[in-house]
Amino acid sequence: MNRTQANGSRARAGEEKNGAAGRIKVEDAVRVILRHIGEDPDREGLERTPMRVAKAYEFLTSGYAKDPKEAINGALFS
């Protein structure tokens, strides 16, 4: 369930504090971008887009939190 906060951002019931605040900020930024290009972020077909974009960025940047040696796992070739 979503709830709109006083600052206009949306919080989800039961979300953890770690990472949730950052995800909500990304979702809000995506809504701003959608409005800026003339779209309605609440219309059917776009209503879940901010969440999908936030999850995509979390996945794409997840390696930054990992140990490089663990990520490479000896896969260096000469």
Q: For 37-66, how does the pLDDT look when each residue is reduced to its tens digit (9 = 90+)?
A: 999 999 999 999 999 999 999 999 988 888
Q: For 6-17, how does the pLDDT look when each residue is reduced to its tens digit (9 = 90+)?
A: 445 555 544 444
What's the confidence (pLDDT) of residue 18? 52
Strand, coil or helix: 64: helix
Domains in the chain and their CATH numbers? 2-63 (1.10.286.10)
Strand, coil or helix: 3: strand
Evaluate if residue 22 carries a pLDDT over 80.
yes
- pLDDT category of residue 76 using cuts at 50, 70 and 90: confident
- What pTM does this model have? 0.65
DSSP structure class, residue 10 = E
